Amino acid sequence: MNIGLIQLLQEDKHPAPAGHPESAHRIKPALEHVLSSDISKNIKIIRPEPVETDLVYKVHDKDYLERARSVAEGGGGYLDGDTYMMPGSYEAAMETASAAIYAVDSIMSGDFNRIFSAGRPPGHHAEYSHGMGFCVINNTALAAEAFIERHNLNKIAIVDWDVHHGNGTQHHFYERADVYFISLHQYPFYPGSGASTERGRGEGEGFTLNFPMPAGSDDASYARAFEETIVPELEKFKPQAVIITSGFDAHREDPLASILLSEDAYTLMTRHLTGIADKYSRGRILSFFEGGYNPSSNARSLYNHLKELQED
């Protein structure tokens, strides 16, 4: 199966300050690795066309977006202690957001069943009214809204295996039943949310599922979570599309966390989700590169992830 690959590394518009871990360098070698590997023949590069981005205002407050624009256009600065903006960062964030919507449209049109989007700046920590954790616009939440608002789907599954909890995505859908948000993450750890007791509220109760993993958790711990709970829950939910917030920073070689996954874990987790997508979602999967700060382990993990996405 061919999969689509979007590359928006934004090296010119969103360059990292010296020494900052979130830079294009963490992603670029991984993409070069897979595009020179044996699986490259089934990877088709997508050059996304600009699309209307008004849907971003359902995910983020207009005042926040104007503040982010003002910081960038004023010469750059920080939205919080570690979320930087360069003069071109707002434009880069909006281009990455547009690409997320374009990817949803491409999947729904049948151009691709599965797309992997490597875009910067990342997004899953971005809250409705503020950016944080290197994240400016929540592309995961935006893609889910695009499936719902532009294509009338009503059951979207989001699985976030970034080592940091996807607080912004969780909070956006916390009171809704049309999106099932599932997260596996180191806990206690940044950003502090993601306890197992956080299960949703009101109509959304039971549609948030957190797996707070202690430091030192390994492949077997994640496999149990999928096999004993996540897969059965998704079988009951029967999603019409699957979104993966695919951070590779839970790898044991990543410098910013203490989970001990090997790259084989990304094979297994992806295989479970392709099985769900093939059964209930017509194969539809949109995966976003989020965290991951060791170029070497990112490359091996991304290879395994994309190889499984290609499986028919």
For residue 159 the two structure tokens come to: 């699985």
| DSSP E strand boundaries for 187-265 | 208-213, 241-246
Catalytic residue among 14, 124, 125, 305: 125
Phi-psi region of 10 (alpha: psi -120 to 50; beta: other; left: phi over 0): left
Sheet holding 156-160, edge to edge: 43-46, 3-8, 114-119, 285-289, 241-246, 156-160, 179-186, 208-213
- 125 catalytic residue (yes or no): yes
C-alpha to C-alpha distance for 282 and 196, rounded to whole angstroms: 30
The 3-state secondary structure of 294-307 reads: CHHHHHHHHHHHHH
C-alpha to C-alpha distance for 17 and 10, rounded to whole angstroms: 14
Q: SS3 of 241, please?
A: strand
The Cβ of residue 47 has, within 10 Å, a number of other Cβ atoms equal to: 9
Query: Which of 4, 23, 1 is CA-nearest to residue 12?
Result: 23
C-alpha to C-alpha distance for 87 and 90, rounded to whole angstroms: 7
C-alpha to C-alpha distance for 223 and 217, rounded to whole angstroms: 11
Instruction: Please identify every residue annotated as catalytic.
Output: 125
